[in-house]
Amino acid sequence: TAKVETLEFQSEARQLLQLMIHSIYSNKDTFLRELVSNASDALDKLRLEAFRDKELQVDTDDLHIDLDLDAESRTLTVRDNGIGMSREEVVALIGTIAKSGTAEFLRKLKDNKDAAGQQDLIGQFGVGFYSSFMVADKVTLLTRKAGEDTGTRWESTGEGTYTVEPVDDAPQGTSVTLHLKPEDTEEHLYDYASRAKVVEIVRRYSDFITWPIRVEPEGGGEPETVNSRKALWARPQSEVTEDEYTEFYKHVSHDWSAPLETIRISAEGTFEYQALLFIPERAPFDLFMRDRKRGVQLYVKRVFIMDDCEELMPEYLRFVKGVVDAQDLSLNVSREILQKDRQIQLMRRRLVKRVLATVKSLLADKPDAYATFWSEFGRAVKEGLLDDFDNRDAILDIASFASTDDDEKPTTLAAYVARMKENQDAIYYMTGESRAALENSPHLEAFRAKGYEVLLLTDPIDEMWVGAVPEFAGKKFQSVAKGEVDLDSEEEKEEAKKHQEEYTDLLAWMTEALVDKVKEVRLSTRLTTSPACVVGDTFDLTPNLEKMYRAMGQ
Ligand code: ADP
Ligand code: MG
């Protein structure tokens, strides 16, 4: 007799399931896109695994996704003969949410009371398999991993617990059976037990899936393939609609909202490839977390090779999603080979340039889209100022920063330089924890008083790149909190010199008295209202960095 175990969902998983059951998401059709997307991933993985591991006894000649409808029992089953899952994988992957930032996400969701805001958050998070519970009151998953003998049945109503039990005669792959909720007769929003509806959803959301998605014809018979299976990147650009790009983006990115921008690249000649890249509209939760993944996927001649191909996109553009399909690589290609391949390096160079150029054209032509982009991804892009020397200027061109010129709107460096005073030869900036803290700093006073604009840099990364990047458009970056600042005219300098002489004795005495605390006491040209301030030497650490190092125990 099989032993059935009842297990509890991890608490984050439980909370998400509750949200799905009392669905706040208005477009319920998306559950099918998620299940088909998972099935497609599972088929990709099986093909790859079979290719790499010749010992694996699997049949890869007839990989497909079947959708079975049973109107009488009101069930819909999505079945694939892909890689499948072991019992441990079922528990780990389906019973828990390993996504970093989930707890924080749920907190935000709770705080956000309005429905549109909640939907937006859910969309940004992506709920994958759990979206089944928008339309089903019970879900049964039967799976057997390729190469293993015993399968696993998983079942749940989504309310706190699920059961798992071993199954002897499970076919290889995974089937997910949804026990559909009663039809919503009042609103006629959905009837997912209807063939027409299911086919419509597949065509709308999953047409580009490369595997056949099959549905039995009305009245029975051999299942028919209902998707066109065309790789979007291989079709002429003029033939692909905006909606098709959007749905494809959602599949590769696991995002639920449309991308900000779509980029197509095609190279012919000795090293042929096509790329279809997307800039998302929102930063993922884990943009600054260590275990984030999923950037660009590598395909070779239409065959999926790997996710998150680091060799194709630098770290600072890790938010770019999409596919690169290379025609002249071997299907066996490994990370090690990719790292050494000159063609791959050239391709990466070109991809990076195109992404940066795309942002530049947003800046010129779609200021709102650019502003969204920069507020979501600017912090990551600025890492490139340290990592990518070749593109430093291109990054500076598309960067923008808060400044004393405008309380809200950040400025580009070009706009700053255009506003510089005639006698000004440096770009002034100040770094710190927040705009408010900077605004209260005495260091700003003299600059303000004399009408100089100062960039207010508050991201931790800013401290690093301002030290490393020598200049923009021939203008040096100069901290207002460091070293001598020369804001004065000749007369003012004369005046100051006289002053300094008058106070020589006092200053010498003060320097002596404060010998443990400061290097030197000087008369200030910085201050207008504060009596005194502490200034760093040109090559000193900034207070923020000092704090950081101290916190690290150095
Ligand atoms: P995501 O696809 O974003 O990882 P999901 O909730 O859709 O999140 O799925 C969670 C995980 O469960 C997948 O990453 C995959 O490892 C596993 N999984 C889901 N469906 C299948 C399937 N049909 N075959 C094999 N593994 C699956
Ligand atoms: Mg998924």
For residue 52, pLDDT beyond 80? yes
- Range from 48-52, 77-81, 181-185, 307-311 that averages highest in pLDDT: 77-81
- Distance of alpha carbon 331 from alpha carbon 302, whole angstroms: 10
Closest CA to 379 of 399, 407, 404, 355: 399
Strand bridging mode 475-479 / 406-412? unpaired
Distance (Å) from CA 40 to ligand 1 centroid: 10
Distance (Å) from CA 383 to ligand 1 centroid: 32
Please tell me the residue having the least CA distance from ligand 1 atom 17: 93
pLDDT at 209 (0 to 100): 92
Please give the average per-residue pLDDT across 371-377, as a whole number. Answer: 97
- Residues across the chain: 554
Distance (Å) from CA 39 to ligand 1 centroid: 8
Amino acid in the structure at residue 37 = S
Element (H, E) at 429: strand 426-431
Band of the pLDDT at 518, cuts 50, 70, 90? confident
Kindly report the pTM of this predicted structure.
0.78
Contact 475, 427 (CB under 8 A): yes
Q: Which atom of ligand 1 is nearest to the CA of 173?
A: 24
The verdict on whether residue 101 carries a ligand-binding annotation is yes
Lowest-pLDDT choice from 42-56, 438-452, 489-503, 507-521: 489-503
The pair of structure tokens assigned to 326 is 């290379």
Distance (Å) from CA 441 to ligand 1 centroid: 51
Question: Which bin fits 133, alpha (ψ -120 to 50), beta or left (φ > 0)?
Answer: alpha
Q: What is the mean pLDDT of the chain?
A: 88
Name the residue of 32, 37, 38, 90 to mutate for ligand 1: max ligand atoms within 8 A of Cβ. Answer: 38
Please give the average per-residue pLDDT across 343-370, as a whole number. Answer: 96
Please tell me the residue having the least CA distance from ligand 1 atom 4: 128
CA angle 432, 436, 442 (to 5 degrees): 70
The verdict on whether residue 34 carries a ligand-binding annotation is yes
Query: Residue 83: CB within 6 Å of ligand 1?
Result: yes
Distance (Å) from CA 383 to ligand 2 centroid: 30
Distance (Å) from CA 34 to ligand 2 centroid: 5
Please give the average per-residue pLDDT across 464-476, as a whole number. Answer: 93
Please tell me the residue having the least CA distance from ligand 1 atom 23: 39
Q: How far is CA 266 from the centre of its chain?
A: 24
Query: Residue 66: CB within 6 Å of ligand 1?
Result: no
Query: Residue 173: CB within 6 Å of ligand 1?
Result: no
Lowest-pLDDT choice from 335-339, 360-364, 525-529, 532-536: 525-529
CB environment 522-553: b (16+ within 10 A), e (fewer): eebbbeeeeeeeebbeeeebbbbbeeeeeeee
Question: Which bin fits 522, alpha (ψ -120 to 50), beta or left (φ > 0)?
Answer: beta
Please give the average per-residue pLDDT across 234-241, as a whole number. Answer: 91
The verdict on whether residue 432 carries a ligand-binding annotation is no
Lowest-pLDDT choice from 89-98, 162-171, 485-494: 485-494
For residue 113, pLDDT beyond 90? no
The verdict on whether residue 127 carries a ligand-binding annotation is yes
Strand bridging mode 261-267 / 273-279? antiparallel
Kindly report, residue by residue over 377-422, the tens digit of the pLDDT.
999 999 999 999 999 999 999 999 999 999 999 999 999 999 999 8
Query: Residue 82: CB within 6 Å of ligand 1?
Result: yes
The interface predicted TM-score of the complex, written ipTM, equals 0.99
Query: Residue 34: CB within 6 Å of ligand 1?
Result: yes
| Percent share of the chain, pLDDT over 70 | 90
pLDDT at 1 (0 to 100): 55
Distance (Å) from CA 513 to ligand 2 centroid: 67
Query: Residue 174: CB within 6 Å of ligand 1?
Result: yes
The pair of structure tokens assigned to 328 is 């002249």
pLDDT at 132 (0 to 100): 95
Which ligand sits closest to the CA of 83? 1
pLDDT at 308 (0 to 100): 87
pLDDT at 368 (0 to 100): 97
In three-state secondary structure terms, 338 is helix
- Distance of alpha carbon 301 from alpha carbon 408, whole angstroms: 48
Query: Residue 325: CB within 6 Å of ligand 1?
Result: no
For residue 187, pLDDT beyond 80? no
The verdict on whether residue 208 carries a ligand-binding annotation is no
pLDDT at 289 (0 to 100): 76
Q: For residue 536, what are the β-bridge partners?
A: 482
